[in-house]
Chains A and B, each alone.
Chain A
Amino acid sequence: MVYIPHTDEERQVMLASIGVERIEQLFNDIPEQYRYPTLGLPEPVSEMEILEELQELSAANLNANQVPTFLGAGAYRHWVPSVVDAIISRGEFFTAYTPYQPEISQGTLQAIFEYQSMICDLTGMEVANASHYDGATAAAEAVLQALNVFRLKRKKIVLAPTVHPQYRAVVRTYAQGLGLEIVGDEDPTLPLTKVVELVDENTASLIIQSPNFLGELEDLTGLADEVHRRGKKALLAVATNPLSLGLLTPPGAFGADIVMGEGQPLGLGLNFGGPYLGFYTTRQKYARQMAGRVVGETVDVEGKRGYVLTLSTREQHIRREKATSNICSNQGLMVLAAAVYLAALGKQGFRKIAELNYHKAHYAAHEIAALGGYEIVSRRPFFNEFVVRCPAPVAELNHFLLEGYDYTIIGGYDLERDYPHLAQHMLVAVTEMNSREEIDDFVAALAEFRATGGYHG
């Protein structure tokens, strides 16, 4: 039997040692009428056959790495240096458990410590945890931390409408039993300057995103002070694209209390949406209200430097019903991938990747703006994503790009799905993976779509 090593003879020896005759006797506590049901799973297949099956399924998908892709909206096609997969494919890392026994887990622990350090450096923050599940759950955990900071006495959360729609939805899912008032995004056009005015003394946190979901950079100057003043020390939480921080002043330098977001751009493949990585940072003074695992440096009995999971009195296995977060398994291997990615690119390479994104996105926007019929509506500068007003519904345009043009192109995100006032608006992402040729093809396709009247307008 696959993955079960026992021979008949060994089974007999083992049963004899236990003192029963048949394996079935070990299950006598299970009520008889439920015992040994027929599951009705498909007939099992061998390794060779399952790989054939999976290759067929894999081939039935359109691989975004093999065609020009301009889709982002929270997940991005990036170059992942070969070293990343080489390291995370080592069994020593991926077949280990959470590092509960530090003496034989220093590899994982030190890698997490290095990740925490690099994430702090990137965001300009003081402490980072060892990850949440993804950007959306990191945003939800920011809400929980803020509630925790105010000992559950404040009941209001202000959410900017330009925070990723999925983040806002997940925040609401998490918060549905907590009796909170979540405001700010009812009017999707409300500018940040007005959103901030909703912060009051009952507010635990304002949550914003920069670059925001529409690709624009929010003006963070003075924002933290205003939030702290209006909200009597209410927390400013900023979701960000970590790759943008290769270039831009990090939210930590503007006084944010929490900086978090989706870590997928740090060396993780698209993988149809997961597993990704929720990175999460806060100020030293809030370290004990932050959820999630944290690795700290210490010494052993001989004075040698080593690493352990620490601050565990905050965690669910100690606090049980007093815990405000239940996170246990996190994104350990993705943390390792991000650490290897950042180390492999290093100071110069990471900055270079961020610049490539910036320049290519602005080049694409410039070319699209010159076409006529399309308008760039995002404020400049943006990072690697911007909004284009199109001459027809985005669904029609995307269908044309996919099937009606000379090449298959995956177009941008249809903003009408989340923002009714943005019908015919496409969110276009351009990364280092988009060569000039790809961008020019995309622009030519947009031109042809308009010229051939493949739309009603």
Chain B
Amino acid sequence: MAEPLIYELSVPGREGAKPPQLDVPPAELPVDLLREELPLPEASEVDVVRHFTRLSHLNYSLDEGMYPLGSCTMKYNPKVNEVAARMPGFTGLHPLQSEETVQGALYLMYHLQEAIQKIGGFAGVTLQPAAGAHGELTGVLIMQKYHLDRGETQRDTILVPDSAHGTNPASTNMCGLRTVQVPSDERGNVDLDALQSLVGEHVVGLMLTNPNTLGLFDENLEEIIALVHGCGGLVYGDGANMSALLGVMRPGEAGIDVMHFNLHKTFSTPHGGGGPGSGPVGVVERLVDFLPGPVVAQDAELSDDEAPYFTFVTPPKSIGPVKSFWGHFGVLARAHTYIRMLGDEGMKRVAEHAVLNANYLLSRIKDVYPLPYDRICMHEFVVAGHFAEAPGVRALDIAKRLIDYGLHPPTNYFPLIVHEALMMEPTETESQQSIDAYADILLKIAEEARTHPEVLHDAPHHTPVRRLDEVRAARQPVLRYRREA
């Protein structure tokens, strides 16, 4: 059943949640400044609860089942994280309270900074960026300012592999820099010869996703880093795929100079139907002074043994703040909780099982789904959603058919360098049984593609709405509710 819009449930004169009575003498209202009408819906509280509850039933969610969107790391969101973030001494904190009144929050932020430094092998961390792409922007600004500070004003180019997330070149453009694309080689690595011909004194840095978006660890990592450092450039690590490396490798140790982390991927905080995320950025020693401000520091002079004292400090050459206040504290509290419960051994286990699960799923389907790069994968892999024996069936059809079986499709049509890509990331929190069930359905759909392709073309069949007309949505945009005239 379709759910009406909240406006369509509105009844003139109906009241919702009730504010308190005015307990002070009223002031005179500025008559000439008052708005004429306020066309918000009028619904009762019970109407509102039922409306949004019914809407919730139209969503597929991670709490319902496996959600193997490649590059998105839809791992289980622990419930304790939600309890943690809702502690009254956290939710009730005003961001501009004096430091002495927020020591508990600063303690948490300081220790999260420290933990991310240790996990990534970095010398400094900012928790301010609001999401992964925001962390990228932060990282590129840091690289840019580092070179400017050294007087190397000629550096205007960021190298981006062709397998990169679209946010990499977009972040580059936001900083007024040029993007030059680096091709991949036949094993899915950055093409070293091409890179060799592209490096030079015009290069700000290279943005490297490793494992890359094919789910492959770049076999030439050390050569790549040496080439970029050799021309005076910096190496940016896109940390979207950090789940594969937790406790297994520290990017900062391997020569990555700056990297963002996605707390909403790697560190289990929920995606919220599109946010909020959190994109802390870690940097090596030579970039620490450029971090956006402020960061949390432990003040040795004000600390005594029993109670260390924390303060906000703005790094001396800071690129400036990238958002209001200090970061998505509510998300930070969740990630802190997760890291505290895992420790060193837990981190390593996450990476190992994320990689084990991806390789296991791949082993179950690779004889049927064409695999463009036949290697051991990391936490995710890419196959082609296209069969020689069923030329009319596309990746999109397979994705939509999965929905009929009550499963969430993988990422499709990304990365762009694989034709009809299906990108799958089971994550470590899925059991063998749930991966087997997913693999069984994928194999069944491949069979259907040969025998009954029309079933795939028409999928999904049982959802509240079926394939939606996206062309119409874009050509004749209806972006808000309009009252009947």
Contacts and interface: CB of A to CB of B under 8 A. Distances in A.
Interface of B is mostly: loop
B157 to A, nearest CB: 11
Interface stretch (B41-49, B193-201, B384-392): B41-49
Nearest to A248: B33
B78 interface: yes
Contacts of A301: 466-467, 469
A176 B145 contact: yes
B239 interface: no
B133 A270 contact: no
28 contacts: A4-B350, A4-B429, A18-B356, A41-B115, A54-B108, A54-B337, A57-B107, A63-B93, A75-B96, A100-B411, A103-B466, A108-B55, A112-B274, A114-B5, A116-B480, A133-B130, A137-B130, A164-B324, A166-B324, A176-B145, A217-B30, A270-B92, A272-B90, A317-B165, A333-B273, A335-B274, A336-B272, A340-B52
A454 to B, nearest CB: 17
Given A4-B353, A344-B17, A398-B98, A321 B40 contact: no
Contacts of A274: 95, 130, 276, 323-331
B139 to A, nearest CB: 12
Enumerate the 4 nearest inter-chain pairs by beta-carbon distance, A residue then B residue, closest first.
Answer: A273-B325, A332-B274, A58-B89, A273-B95
B132 interface: yes
Interface in B322-363: 322-331, 333, 337, 339-350, 352-353, 355-357, 359-360, 362-363
B472 A6 contact: no
B455 interface: no
A7 B472 CA distance: 50
B397 to A, nearest CB: 13
B230 to A, nearest CB: 18
A350 B43 CA distance: 12
Contacts of A287: 477, 479
A187 to B, nearest CB: 21
B437 interface: no
A83 B49 contact: yes
A100 B482 CA distance: 25
Nearest to A411: B98
Given A75-B94, A346-B14, A439-B24, A326 B170 contact: yes
Contact of B274 (A10, A35, A98): A98
Given A87-B53, A106-B55, A333-B273, A253 B35 contact: yes
Contacts of A370: none
Contact of A39 (B23, B39, B347): B347
Interface in B215-263: 216-219, 221-222, 245, 247-250, 253-254
Interface in B110-152: 111, 115, 118-119, 121, 130-134, 136-137, 141, 144-145
A56 to B, nearest CB: 7
Nearest to A312: B474
Interface string A129-172: 01101111100000010000000000000000000101101101
A362 interface: yes
A98 B331 CA distance: 17
Contact of A359 (B26, B169, B324): B26
Contacts of A64: 92-94, 97
Interface stretch (B68-76, B281-289, B298-306, B446-454): B68-76
Contact of A344 (B45, B64, B347): B45
Given A1-B346, A2-B341, A343-B16, A90 B56 contact: yes
A374 interface: no
Contact of B15 (A54, A294, A348, A362): A348
B104 A56 contact: yes
A37 interface: yes
Interface stretch (A22-30, A189-197, A198-206, A227-235): A22-30
Contact of A318 (B35, B166, B362, B470): B166
A5 B432 CA distance: 8
Contacts of B323: 133-134, 136-137, 170, 274
B40 A332 contact: no
* Residue of B51, B57, B167, B469 contacting most chain A CB atoms (<10 Å): B167
A144 B61 CA distance: 34
A183 interface: no
A57 B356 contact: no
B84 interface: yes
A106 B96 CA distance: 38
A402 B34 CA distance: 37
B145 A27 contact: no
Interface in A346-400: 346-353, 355-356, 358-360, 362-363, 366, 381, 398
Interface in A232-270: 245-250, 253, 262, 269-270
Given A310-B470, A439-B24, A96 B248 contact: no
Number of chain A interface residues as a range: 35 or more
B418 interface: no
A83 B45 contact: yes
Nearest to A297: B478
A348 B19 CA distance: 10
Contact of B64 (A92, A108, A345, A362): A92
A29 B219 contact: yes
A63 to B, nearest CB: 4
Contacts of A451: none
A347 B48 CA distance: 13
A107 interface: yes
* Residue of A30, A89, A262, A340 contacting most chain B CB atoms (<10 Å): A30
A335 B55 CA distance: 14
A103 B104 contact: no
B104 A59 contact: yes
B83 interface: yes
Contact of B321 (A57, A169, A310): A169
Nearest to B307: A60
A321 B468 contact: no
Contacts of B15: 346, 348-349
B315 interface: no
B448 to A, nearest CB: 18
Contacts of A249: 33-36
B364 A333 contact: no
B272 A332 contact: yes
A421 interface: no
Contacts of A339: 6, 52
B243 to A, nearest CB: 12
B67 interface: yes
A313 B48 contact: no
Interface in A47-102: 47, 50-51, 53-66, 69, 71, 73-75, 77, 79, 81, 83, 85-87, 89-102
Contacts of A23: 352, 355-356
B136 to A, nearest CB: 7
B341 A110 contact: no
A104 B105 CA distance: 37
Nearest to A58: B89
Given A3-B428, A27-B355, A301-B467, A96 B62 contact: yes
B186 interface: no
B479 A272 contact: no
A4 B430 CA distance: 7
A127 B480 CA distance: 7
